[in-house]
């Protein structure tokens, strides 16, 4: 469980995170979305004890990260795959992590296998790794302590399509076994595929949060009638806003039951009535953050 309550972070006159509150539940993948400069990375850094909050609290498993005994055994963190010692090999990085966490080094080989790094690759200097390989190594390190919680900032950066699919399967499996996942990503399609809950942040404030289905449900209703003009008139009479949806269909800003009832009340015969499921996460994201994007402050 991750719990963030009234979290605020100010840098002088700039408020990077503004009274943010949310929860991330066990057994679920929660997508954390927002434009550049929205406050995602700052929130995650506060959560992981790397940046102090101005006010408010952020806890993992009921405690601040710094108060967790041997935190790597409870929380796996990947915030920047490039922030690894370039002169060490991947295996050396994991062996050091295992030593610091008091874990048997056999776990290192297990995690290398999980993330798909070969023995040859694991013994290569990190300066010679591609970004995708660094991401895999970072995920191996995050999983090394067999944690209950994962906090991952843009973990799919640099991965090829097969790697992204592997990542999706890994996170889904972790959550299905009861783990808690907070995932930040700009790959909206991947968030839509893997996330159970979604949190959208803009200009340092939460602009929307809920289950994926709840947030996308507002896409409205696609409706088509034998008499398009009569349908327009029926919807207008019942106060339902609609717009042309193409091929004679209308896109109404109401639930299908409301639209169907309006048509029936005015004697309009319908030939199509269904939830408009084509908006998708990208449209929802752009709609919610259009007025909130902020480029001048680092996320």
- Overall average pLDDT of the 238-247 stretch: 84
Task: Kindly tell me if the per-residue pLDDT of 214 is higher than 80.
Answer: no
Residue range(s) occupied by CATH 3.40.50.300 in the chain: 2-215
pLDDT for res 290: 66
* Whole-angstrom Cα Rg for the chain: 23
Closest CA to 119 of 132, 131, 130, 109: 109
Q: Are the CB atoms for 260 and 197 separated by under 8 Å?
A: no
Q: Please name the residues in contact with 246: beta carbons below 8 A apart, sequence gap of 6 or more.
A: none
d(CA 36, CA 202): 9
Considering Cα of 81, then 87, then 90, then 93, what sign does the dihedral take?
Answer: negative
Residue found by looking up tokens 């719990």 in the block: 3
Query: Between these two residues, 263 and 187, which has the higher pLDDT value?
Result: 263
pLDDT mean across residues, the chain: 90
CATH fold of 2-215 reads: Rossmann fold (3.40.50)
pLDDT for res 187: 75
- Tokens matching residue 286: 């752009």
d(CA 171, CA 193): 11
pLDDT for res 188: 79
pLDDT digits (tens, 9 = 90+) for 222-234: 899 999 999 999 9
pLDDT for res 156: 87
In this structure, the strands spanning 180-184 and 197-202 are unpaired
d(CA 186, CA 226): 42
Considering Cα of 220, then 221, then 222, then 228, what sign does the dihedral take?
Answer: negative
d(CA 96, CA 143): 14
Task: Kindly tell me if the per-residue pLDDT of 246 is higher than 80.
Answer: no
198-202-207-210 Cα dihedral, nearest 10 degrees: 10
pLDDT for res 280: 63
Helix, strand, coil proportions of the chain in percent (round to 5)?
Answer: 40, 25, 35
């Amino acid at each position: 469980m991750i719990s963030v309550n009234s979290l605020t972070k100010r840098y002088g006159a700039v408020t990077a995170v503004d009274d943010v509150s949310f929860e991330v539940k066990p057994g679920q993948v929660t997508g954390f979305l927002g434009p550049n400069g929205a406050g995602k990375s700052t929130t995650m850094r506060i959560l992981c004890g790397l940046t102090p909050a101005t006010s408010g609290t952020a806890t993992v498993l009921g405690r601040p990260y710094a108060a967790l005994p041997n935190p790597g055994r409870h929380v796996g963190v990947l915030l920047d795959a490039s922030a690894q010692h370039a002169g060490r090999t991947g295996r050396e990085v994991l062996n050091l992590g295992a030593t610091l966490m008091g874990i048997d080094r056999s776990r290192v080989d297990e995690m290398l296998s999980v993330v798909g790094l070969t023995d040859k690759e694991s013994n290569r200097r990190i300066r010679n790794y591609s970004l995708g390989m660094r991401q895999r190594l970072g995920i191996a390190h995050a999983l090394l302590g067999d944690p209950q919680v994962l906090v991952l900032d843009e973990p799919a950066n640099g991965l090829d399509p097969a790697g992204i699919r592997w990542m999706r399967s890994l996170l889904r499996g972790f959550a299905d076994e009861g783990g808690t996942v907070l995932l930040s990503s700009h790959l909206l399609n991947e968030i839509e595929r893997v996330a159970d809950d979604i949190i959208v942040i803009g200009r340092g404030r939460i602009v929307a949060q809920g289950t994926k289905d709840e947030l996308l449900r507002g896409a409205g209703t696609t409706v088509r009638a034998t008499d398009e003009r009569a349908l327009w008139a029926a919807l207008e009479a019942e106060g339902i806003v609609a717009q042309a949806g193409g091929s004679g269909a209308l896109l109404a800003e109401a639930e299908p039951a409301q639209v169907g009832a309006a048509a029936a009340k005015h004697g309009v015969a319908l030939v199509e009535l269904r939830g408009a499921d084509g908006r998708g996460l990208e449209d929802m994201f752009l709609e919610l953050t259009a007025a909130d994007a902020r480029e001048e402050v680092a996320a």
